[in-house]
Structures are given as structure tokens and as C-alpha cells.
Structure 1
Amino acid sequence: MAEIDPDAKRRPASVKELKAMSHPLRVRIIRLCGDHELTNKQLADRLGVDPGTVYYHVRQLVDAGFLEPAEVRTGESGALEKPYRSTGRSWWLSVQLEDLDTSQGFAPVEAFQQELAEAGPASIASYARFALHLSPEDVAELDRRIVAVIDEYVETDTERAHLPAHGGIFLLHRTPD
């Protein structure tokens, strides 16, 4: 299999895009709308938050290009529903960590923690915990290789849409010692 350069498909995130992804609730909304077209009410029910709060966050995600309106549909009660779907655009952004403040950098981690807590320990399919001694070049190479593998799966995910969805996060950090 040919090696893929993940940076070839990515572009730097704009300030507006960074801000839109700086809240854990917005990160979760993007992911949920990637699985299904959902309304503000459905998102609020799923996330356990007020519909007005969801509406505010959805508007920011639409404005940043991460969500788009899907076709209006008739709900179970006969009322018209306005669902949203993910554009998939957030995956192909390159985020420079030095451009983030502390709260922005932790939003994806907080969203992942919330999703994992909701799914429960039995949902874990694989786990690897490690400590490595790496140069800055080693860190860049490890990141490039892992992201390339993940990108291969992302690009072909529609072929497996009938299978159970799995979430994950790859995070490499310096230890405090």
C-alpha cells in the first residue's frame, strides 16, 4: 500500500474554525451529525442540554462550515423538522497547537471523555498506553504515520457505514517530569 502524506490533504484551520472547535459541545455535535442528520431538539435530547444552547452552538458550526442544513423532513408528530449534517470539513484541517489557548486545546479531549463516559467501559475496543522518548522529529514522524493510517480509514468510511461506529482519539503529550 502506498504511503499517504496526510498534510497533502489538509489545510490550516482559520481563526473562525479554531473558535468553532474550541468547545467540547461543538466537537460532540460535529461527530453526532456525522453519524446521522439530527435536529436541534434531537441533539439537545442526546446531549442532555437545553435546546437553546444547542441552537447557539449549531449556528456557530454552520457559520464555520462544519454543519449544513439537510432536507427539511416531517417528524413523527407531523411537524416539519430541520436537521443538520456534518460537512466532514473539520477532519481535514491542520491545527497548529501553538495557535490554541489552553481551553481550545482541551475541547476535543473533553468531548472524547464525555463520549467515552456515556458509552461506558465495555465500549472500549482497543487500548494502548505508552511512554516514549522522542525528538521533535520523531514526534512529527509518529504523528504523520498514525494520521496517515487514520486518514485511509476516514476516506473509505462510507464503504463501512453499515457497521458499528467507533470513536477514538490520538493524543501525544509531553510528560510533566
Structure 2
Amino acid sequence: MSSNKKAPMPISAEQSKLLESALRIKILNVLANEAHTSKQVANLLGKTPGNVHYHIQKLYDGGLLDLVNTQTVGGVVEKYYRSKTTFFKPEQFTEFNYLEDEPPYRAATRLLLSPAQYQDFIDELDALIRKWEAKDTDGAEYGVLFTLGRVQDSDSGSD
């Protein structure tokens, strides 16, 4: 599976803070393929228009949304926004403050990967994350942080 997707958009620490909300991530996903107004996004997500408008304004002011069209309908100005991307590369990753009474799920392993397999793994992981970000879900907010990096060879011989 080869990757034709764009590289992640580099973002500042301030922009990264804007993404510390599952609702904002959902808004970005709704606006990924089609421009919508705040009210349309609110209807699609089943949220209040005022709440969604607030978050859209923050994302727009932070440079993560584009204003692609403005129309006046019956004396009301409708602003249509679109996400610049849903794939970001922050300057630095920060750990989440997990609840103490609900320990986070953790898993670790080592994989032998060729450069092509490494890229395929990343592409599949990114697709999985974007799939769940875009799903119509409700409930508690969870933080997901994966680290994949080349490790030093161990001293325990290899086959």
C-alpha cells in the first residue's frame, strides 16, 4: 500500500493546544471534505450552534481552518469554513493527564520492518486514528499517543 497523502501540517505549540479537544478534532473532520457553516456543523454533530461556533472561531483564529465562502441569506451572513487538514505535526508532543482511578491502556512490542513496511505501518495507523476521529461517537474523552521509532540494536544476537 503506497501513500499518496500529504505530509502532516506543522503546527506551533499554540495551535497544538487548540487540538486538545475531541470536539475540535470532530469539527476538523466534518470540515475536511466539504465546507460548512457553524450551524451546519452543529447539526451534523448534534451539538449547540453557539458551542460549535465558539470552537470554529478558535480554530479559524488559530490558522487551522480556511474561510472559503461568505453569503448573505435573508440579512444573515453565512460563513463557510473548511479544514486545512486533519493531519498535524506538532512541534512537540505532550503527555496527557490521565485519570488516576482509570489507568491508561499501554502496549509495547518490537517489529522488524523494512523502510516500505515502516511507511505502510504508519499509513495504516494514521488511517485508523483518522477513522475514529471522524466517527459519530459520544462519551468520555480519551487521549491517544503512539511512539514509533528506530531502537538501538540489542546485544542479544539476531537470526
TM over 0.5: yes
Q: Output the amino acid matched with 1:47.
A: L
Q: How far off is 1:70 after superposition? A: 1.4
The offset of 1:95, in angstroms, is: 7.2
Q: Secondary structure at the match of 1:61?
A: helix
The partner residue of 1:101 within 82, 89, 96 is 96
State the AA in 2 paired with 1:42. Q
Find 1:68's aligned residue among 66, 69, 94.
66
User: How far, CA to CA, are the matches of 2:20 and 2:145 in structure 1?
Assistant: 19
Percent of paired sites with the same residue: 26
Secondary structure (helix, strand or coil) at the match of 2:82 reads: strand
Q: CA deviation at 1:29?
A: 0.5
Shift of 1:14: 2.0
Query: Any idea what SS the aligned residue of 1:70 has?
Result: strand
**Where do 5+ consecutive residues of structure 1 fail to align?**
104-131, 154-166
Kindly report which structure 2 residues correspond to 1:1-177, keeping only aligned pairs within 5 A, or say none.
Answer: 9-10=7-8, 13-75=11-73, 79-88=76-85, 90-93=86-89, 97=93, 99-102=94-97, 134-135=109-110, 144-148=119-123, 168-169=131-132
Query: Residues 67 and 79 of structure 2 are in contact (CA less than 8 Å); yes or no, is this contact kept in structure 1?
Result: yes
Tell me, what secondary structure is at the counterpart of 1:93? strand
Deviation at 1:55, TM superposition (A): 1.4
Q: Answer whether contact 1:68 1:84 (CA < 8 A) is retained.
A: yes
More helix by share: 1
The DSSP-based 3-state class of the residue aligned with 2:23 is helix
Q: RMSD value over aligned CA atoms?
A: 4.0
Structure number with bigger Rg: 2
Q: 2:42–2:48: 8 Å Cα contact kept in structure 1? A: yes
Residue 82 of structure 1 and its aligned partner are, at CA, apart by 0.9
Q: TM-score by structure 2 length?
A: 0.57
CA distance in 1 between partners of 2:112 and 2:52 (Å): 40
Maintained 8 Å contact 1:10/1:94: no
TM-score where L is the length of structure 1:
0.52
SS at match of 2:39: helix
What stretches of structure 2 of length at least 5 have no aligned partner? 99-106, 134-143, 147-159
Three-state SS of the structure 2 residue aligned to 1:71 is strand
How many correspondences in the alignment?
124
Residue 58 and residue 102 in structure 1: after superposition, are their counterparts in 2 closer, same or farther (change >3 A)?
A: same
Cα offset for 1:134? 1.5
Query: Is the CA contact (8 Å cut-off) linking 1:38 and 1:84 kept in structure 2?
Result: yes
- Which shows bigger deviation, 58-67 or 25-34? 58-67
